[in-house]
Structure 1
């Protein structure tokens, strides 16, 4: 669904019911980015994405597996595999730390939220957003830090209200993707505004108390993930990806104490054993993407355009060699955003730059292609949040296309084709051309199954993709 932006002014600032803010405030700061860290309407099938979470089924299955939680059905909590997952022959994964009555400082999630310094401003919906964050939508990055997100960050949020707002913003946006409640959309934007405002204030300080380093970086990650559920969130996503990197660099440089494991090799160390199990992308998609990208060379003028173009071309080229090589280049692609100097990055965010907008359209297409591989980053949770993430990113395509002149729309054909295929796969609808999520097995007997059986459930497929890791 399209995020309701009726509460935003044309220049992107939040007005009614909350503080004035803009994600681009960080770009307009008088300090350097290093000092501030820088700042579809597609119908879904009820059996996978459209259940109403306001019912009380969770009281009957408080610690159920991710698969049952996503399908909104009762889980009998049998381990290692529950009855429902056995019947469907899908992977059965349980939360590493299911919600406990003694969570954090011996309190329930609702008690933790109520004990925040600004508890009076939080509503019953906020309790639901907080619970949703703890059970499903907390970020899987930085890799290997799930314990920190579930144990330490909720405690820090009690002392740093802007972090609590970021948590609620992420929970609200993800939940809105599942139940399509317009009020959740508005509340997500309100919390996002408070989070950015508070983060800007904290970034401007020269001295930080214990826990503030964690609060700042957790807020950056939460707002990055939230942007992936917002139809108009691509620019914010780019900004906060840069913010995460700059914040991490600042913490390492100052050797600030943090609950997160931010080792430079952490991601690679975790993903390395899984690289050999990554599926191969369809060469047709890769070759068509390279051809389409090459047609953009005549438009490249600015350094930001050249660097982003080369980084995406390298991803496609390396995938033709191996999935492992392509995945590593995909991770490296994000470096473009935080390696750019402040002024060059402002050029990258210029929505009137048509070349950048077309390149961002290619970025959306690559995100679709990479979904079966990035599922290996979070194997126990890919099914729980993967579908909602992809539908949010699919909506980015329309936002990008609205900024591209009619005569240049054909440059977005490759990306649009991938997005349309993914939407069809997620909704169990037939589609033309090679599959994206249903990557065929190397087994000759099952090769091509994704194309022939377009009515399958791609949410199940995301789960099955991750089992091997």
Structure 2
């Protein structure tokens, strides 16, 4: 036989701490070579042992008898009081084999669930996805209906945060417009999907924007979550936060020269494109506008910080515009949004909106109330929507009145008198005496 083939078919292994040499034959059977007496090297030829005792103990092999292989002590060694020793590789193999059998028996009778490679969605979620495309998608940015109904759904399966946010907004829309029985179940679904969307979005943002598709998915998610915030009782600060989020994501994409799926996202043409509608919009009730001005003017002496003074000035300018021009009032409302979106630093925004800021709480209450009375003017935006499913409730008219309840509940006792006008607006809207119609 060729020497190279011999080397291929036979190999020697010496077990650490033992002088026994294990030779593996080409038929994968084990042959044990005992060390030669007086420390002399063993012969190169394997010592042939009894063919029926290959798995037996060392004493049986020396006696050339068949070993009963009773572990840990065989019959031969037990009768003669000998120490029954097994080749180390056999004991290890036996222990490992027993462990494998125990593991197999312990788990074989319990069916294992297949490993999940991604989120699992139900038939209800598929219904919500369809409802989003047909009814519940946001109406901002203006003129992007086809993007919301085609491009955004086509990339949703690749980004959990986008898909969860779509399902969350859709569920909230059903809660707002569905039957009480249906709304109860959908409310839990809406909140659960929202929390998953926010958690997944935070994780994605922490790693940065790696592609234009991912950036657009993040941008769409911020728009969706801010729209859902209008349906949550204490969602005002989150609403403002996600508006800032759209700016942060959009700015990062612009710096990386990434393309936007949304058309004319940052072009300030909303007032221009709606010029005809805004010019035909009648003025709101004069007494209501003047009462807004008086209430806001009373806040002048309370403002201490820069962000409070800026917010106060923007609110007062918008309220005064309501008396003379619906168009100017609409543009003034946009300036308020630009203030807390672009102008304020993160620290200033945090200080203005923190629950312990009594003056900030008062300014936010006037912001919500002022936005409610501007609804008839802002309604001109919706004329551009092209969907055939048009519900009055879909646009969430007046639903943000719920934001006033936690703000009023958090009002400082020494500032109660400053909330008189905002409480009046809350009551008028809730009781149906004032709406966007």
Same fold (TM over 0.5): yes
Q: Describe the SS at the equivalent of 1:211.
A: helix
Matched, 1:377 2:351: no
Distance in 2 between the 1:118 and 1:391 partners? Answer: 38
> Per-residue displacement from partner, 1:59-109 (whole Å, max 9, x unpaired)?
xxxxxxxxxxxxxxxxxxxxxxxxxxxxxxxxxxxxxxxxxxxxxxxxxxx
Distance in 1 between the 2:282 and 2:135 partners? Answer: 25
Q: Which moved more, 1:204-213 or 1:357-366?
A: 204-213
Matched, 1:301 2:308: no
Matched, 1:260 2:267: no
> Per-residue displacement from partner, 1:331-375 (whole Å, max 9, x unpaired)?
111011121112111101211111111111111111211111111
Q: Which residue of 2 aligns with 1:392?
A: 399
Q: Which residue of 1 aligns with 2:333?
A: 330
> Per-residue displacement from partner, 1:160-209 (whole Å, max 9, x unpaired)?
11100011111111211112422212211111111111211221224513
Distance in 1 between the 2:423 and 2:207 partners? Answer: 44
Matched, 1:424 2:423: no
Q: Which residue of 2 aligns with 1:157?
A: 156
> Per-residue displacement from partner, 1:107-158 (whole Å, max 9, x unpaired)?
xxxxxxxxxx8352x2232223222211222111011111100000001111
Q: Which residue of 1 aligns with 2:247?
A: 245
Give the Å deviation of 1:393: 0.6
Alignment equivalent of 2:361, drawn from 357, 364, 372: 357
Q: Which residue of 1 aligns with 2:5?
A: none
Distance in 1 between the 2:212 and 2:289 partners? Answer: 47
Q: Which residue of 2 aligns with 1:213?
A: 215
Q: Describe the SS at the equivalent of 1:378.
A: helix
Are the aligned partners of 2:278 and 2:377 in contact in 1 as well (CA < 8 Å)?
A: no
Q: Any stretches of 5+ residues in structure 2 without a counterpart?
A: 1-116
Give the Å deviation of 1:235: 1.2
Q: Which residue of 1 aligns with 2:275?
A: 272
Moved over 4 A (4+): 380-383, 385-388
> Cα distance 1:248–1:223, how it changes in 2: closer, same or farther (>3 A)?
same
Give the Å deviation of 1:385: 5.0
> Cα distance 1:385–1:135, how it changes in 2: closer, same or farther (>3 A)?
farther
TM-score, length basis structure 1: 0.63
Q: Describe the SS at the equivalent of 1:280.
A: coil
Distance in 2 between the 1:268 and 1:260 partners? Answer: 18
Q: Which residue of 1 aligns with 2:204?
A: 202
Give the Å deviation of 1:290: 1.1
Q: Any stretches of 5+ residues in structure 1 without a counterpart?
A: 1-116, 426-430, 438-460, 462-469
Distance in 1 between the 2:337 and 2:209 partners? Answer: 30
Are the aligned partners of 1:375 and 1:386 in contact in 2 as well (CA < 8 Å)?
A: no
Alignment equivalent of 1:341, drawn from 331, 339, 345: 345
Give the Å deviation of 1:422: 2.1
Q: How many residues align?
A: 314
Q: Give the root-mean-square deviation of aligned CA atoms.
A: 2.2
Give the Å deviation of 1:400: 0.7
* Match runs of 1:225-244 below 5 Å: 225-244=227-246
TM-score, length basis structure 2: 0.68
Q: Which residue of 2 aligns with 1:118?
A: 118
Q: Which residue of 2 aligns with 1:408?
A: 415
Distance in 2 between the 1:237 and 1:184 partners? Answer: 21
Q: Which residue of 1 aligns with 2:8?
A: none
Distance in 1 between the 2:253 and 2:393 partners? Answer: 30
Are the aligned partners of 1:169 and 1:191 in contact in 2 as well (CA < 8 Å)?
A: yes
Are the aligned partners of 1:162 and 1:195 in contact in 2 as well (CA < 8 Å)?
A: yes
Are the aligned partners of 1:231 and 1:392 in contact in 2 as well (CA < 8 Å)?
A: no
Distance in 1 between the 2:234 and 2:156 partners? Answer: 27
* Match runs of 1:445-456 below 5 Å: none
Are the aligned partners of 2:274 and 2:381 in contact in 1 as well (CA < 8 Å)?
A: yes
Greater relative contact order (Cα 8 A, min sep 6): structure 1 or 2?
A: 1
Distance in 2 between the 1:244 and 1:360 partners? Answer: 21
Q: Which residue of 2 aligns with 1:189?
A: 191
Give the Å deviation of 1:328: 0.8
Distance in 1 between the 2:201 and 2:330 partners? Answer: 32
> Per-residue displacement from partner, 1:284-325 (whole Å, max 9, x unpaired)?
111111111111122111112111111111111122221111
* Match runs of 1:70-85 below 5 Å: none
Q: Which moved more, 1:217-226 or 1:363-372?
A: 363-372
